[in-house]
Amino acid sequence: MAAGARSGPARKEPGPSTLKSRSRTLCPSGRALRQCNMAQGLIEVERKFTPGPDTEERLQELGGTLEHRVTFQDTYYDTSELSLMRSDHWLRQREGSGWELKCPGVSGISGSHNEYVELTSESAIVAQLFQLLGAEELGTAGVAAVLGSLKLQEVASFVTTRSSWMLALSGASEEEPKLRVDLDSTDFGYAVGEVEVMVREKGEVPAALEKISSFSTLLGVPAQETAPAKLMVYLQRFRPLDYQHLLEANSCSEATGDSTS
């Protein structure tokens, strides 16, 4: 399934972590669905960038510490109509880590970043899936047990090799959350980096954005650089019809003003 390495599409597109000059929500039905309960998960504030051959050396110069290098497989699930992705929700099973549902954040702060609430409790994920898909929840079950009844199927699966770095900006207090930088390389020839800060309250998002912006400048990332998410590049290459449907949903969202700018 290997393909030649490319930087990915340059046009605007939806995605679980695409670098954009705006915040969430991107998809047309996002406002018609309830947001994930903020109390059920952390808020992920992130920015994608294109890593270069000297990125790891620069991270070391900035005081970064390599936490680990790992290889894992991600499998994404959705309905045949991509009901979850079209509403900016992303259901993933990661090898060795379990299930995760990413839901759009709600801070409304614009900028070249993304915000998501991450649910990792299976009971919370199942409850949210039934709500999002308009189905009646029956009993208590894990995510795998409800895939069939919710008509959720595999839409993408790929292997990622990741190096994870942790660092704090100069002058940051010990209480402030550290920056995490992940450098990913996939088995289909795409590489992408991500700067991430996890916060518990939406009031902490502005400070997280400032950290990401300051660090990105130090790392040499251009202010308006765009880097597609791994999943979107995968769909573009191997499921082009699904990829096009997501692009069309995003265009509809922009045209109707449903997306948050």
End-to-end CA distance of the chain, in Å?
36
DSSP strands (E only) in 59-178: 65-78, 90-94, 98-104, 114-119, 153-167
Q: How far apart are CA 160 and CA 150, in angstroms?
A: 28
Considering only CA atoms, give the Rg of the chain: 18
The pLDDT score that the predictor gives to residue 170 is 67
The whole-number mean pLDDT for each consecutive block of 10 residues of the chain, a chain of 261 residues, reads: 40 40 27 34 83 94 95 97 94 96 67 68 94 83 94 98 89 74 98 91 86 90 87 96 89 37 24
DSSP string, 224-253: T-----HHHHHHHHH-HHHHHHHHHHHHHH
Contact 119, 41 (CB under 8 A): yes
Helix (H) or strand (E) holding 207: helix 205-219
The pLDDT score that the predictor gives to residue 23 is 30
Residue with tokens 């669905």: 33
The pLDDT score that the predictor gives to residue 41 is 56
The pLDDT score that the predictor gives to residue 68 is 95
What token pair was written down for 95?
Answer: 């090898």
Residue type for position 29: S
The pLDDT score that the predictor gives to residue 114 is 58
DSSP string, 96-149: TTEEEEEEE------SS-EEEEEE--HHHHHHHHHHHTT----S---HHHHTTT
Contact 43, 199 (CB under 8 A): yes
The pLDDT score that the predictor gives to residue 39 is 37
The pLDDT score that the predictor gives to residue 178 is 84
Q: How far apart are CA 141 and CA 156, in angstroms?
A: 24
Q: How many CA atoms lie within 13 A of 142 on its CB side?
A: 5
Contact 250, 13 (CB under 8 A): yes
Angle 230-238/240-256 helices, nearest 10 degrees?
A: 120
What token pair was written down for 225?
Answer: 């650089």
The pLDDT score that the predictor gives to residue 71 is 97
Residue with tokens 């070249």: 112
The pLDDT score that the predictor gives to residue 35 is 37
Judging by beta carbons within 10 Å of its beta carbon (0-12, 13-18, 19+), is residue 136 exposed, middle or buried?
exposed
